[in-house]
Amino acid sequence: MPLSEQEQRLLDEMERSLYQNDADFVATVGGRRGKPNYTVLVVGVLLALLGIGVLVTGVIVQQPLVGVLGFVVMFAGVLTIFSPPRRGLAPEDAAAPGAKKRKGSGSFMDNLNARWDRRNDDHG
């Protein structure tokens, strides 16, 4: 069932308000993840394959400790593959287009990191 014109306008108004008033939430929920880090992906796949090999070896030699170690290595590899990237976007880049950054928004450490990045960009 399609939305009426009034409901569509209300939905558009709510979306604009969200982009303008809550840029942090939009940045968190937004689908922009950046380019995948293929090095981390390859390391994760190799860890998972190594873990499977150790797990199978543990089953063949009938050593539960070796099997558990293989499972742990395999699990670490899978977590490495699916973990989010460690470095996110800078707070200025993560804001929605046209959204103003409010004074006092963000944590103390985010503000310090932003100042450090600006200082390095000015000197580099």
Q: What is the pLDDT of residue 92?
A: 47
77 vs 74: CA distance, rounded Å: 5
Q: Which pLDDT score is estimated for 124?
A: 57
Is 95 or 68 the better-scoring residue by pLDDT? 68
Domain ranges (residues) in the chain: 36-85
pLDDT tens figures, 75-114: 999 999 888 776 554 444 444 444 445 555 567 788 878 8
Q: 34: left (phi > 0), else alpha (psi -120 to 50), else beta?
A: left
Quick: pLDDT tens for 24-36: 665 666 655 567 7
What DSSP string describes 38-92? HHHHHHHHHHHHHHHHHHHHHHHTT-HHHHHHHHHHHHHHHHHHHSPPSS---HH
State pTM to two decimals: 0.46
